[in-house]
A and B are shown apart, each in its own frame.
Chain A
Amino acid sequence: MPLVSTRALVLQTFPYSETSKILRLFTWEHGLRSVIAKGALRPRSRFGGVLEPFTEGTAQIYLKEGRELQTLSGFDLLRSRQALGRSLAAFAGASLMAEVAIRTGTEDPQPALYAELAAGWDSIAAAADEAAAEAAVLGGAWRIVSLVGFEPQTDACVVCGRDAAPDKPVRFDAEAGGVACTSCRPVGRLIDPQSRAELRRMIRGLPLNAPLGRPGLHRALLRTFLEMQLAHGKPFRSLELFMTGMEEA
Chain B
Amino acid sequence: MSVIDELTGELARLPGIGRKTALRLTFHLLKAPAEEAQRLSRAITAVRERVRACERCGNLTEQSPCAICTNTRREHGLVCVVEEASDIMAIERTGEYRGMYHVLGGRLSPLDGIGPAELNVRPLLERLKEGEVREVVLATNPSVEGEATALYLHKLIAPAGVRVTRIARGLPVGGDLEYADGVTIAEALNGRREL
Contacts and interface: CB of A to CB of B under 8 A. Distances in A.
A240 B151 contact: no
B173 A95 contact: no
Given A43-B179, A49-B175, A82 B147 contact: yes
Contacts of B176: 41
B145 A85 contact: yes
A213 B28 CA distance: 71
Interface stretch (A11-19, A56-64, A107-115, A151-159): A11-19
B116 A49 contact: no
A165 B82 CA distance: 55
B111 A99 contact: yes
Interface string A214-245: 00000000000000000000000110111011
Interface in B98-138: 108-113, 115-117
Contact of A95 (B110, B151, B175): B110
A64 B18 CA distance: 24
Nearest to A51: B174
Interface residues of B, number: 30
Interface in A1-33: 11-12, 14, 17-19
B144 A48 contact: no
Contacts of A52: 143-144, 173-174
A13 B176 CA distance: 13
A67 interface: no
A55 B155 CA distance: 26
A54 B143 CA distance: 11
A208 to B, nearest CB: 25
Interface in B134-169: 142-148, 151-152, 155-156
Contacts of B115: 237, 240-241, 244
A14 B145 contact: no
B166 to A, nearest CB: 11
A221 B164 CA distance: 36
Nearest to A41: B176
B5 interface: no
Nearest to A99: B111
A88 B152 contact: yes
Contacts of A81: 144
Given A43-B181, A245-B152, A53 B175 contact: no
A248 B156 CA distance: 9
A54 B144 contact: yes
A80 B169 CA distance: 15
Contacts of B183: none
A144 interface: no
Given A49-B175, A53-B144, A17 B16 contact: yes
Contact of B113 (A50, A53, A102, A237): A237
B110 A19 contact: no
A82 B148 CA distance: 10
Interface string A88-107: 10011001101100100000
13 contacts: A17-B15, A49-B174, A81-B144, A82-B147, A85-B147, A88-B155, A91-B145, A96-B110, A237-B110, A238-B111, A241-B115, A245-B152, A248-B156
Q: Which 10 A-B pairs have the closest CB atoms?
A: A49-B174, A49-B173, A85-B147, A238-B110, A85-B144, A91-B148, A18-B15, A95-B110, A241-B110, A52-B174
Interface of A: 11-12, 14, 17-19, 41-43, 48-54, 80-82, 84-88, 91-92, 95-96, 98-99, 102, 237-238, 240-242, 244-245, 248-249
Interface of B: 15-16, 108-113, 115-117, 142-148, 151-152, 155-156, 172-176, 179-181
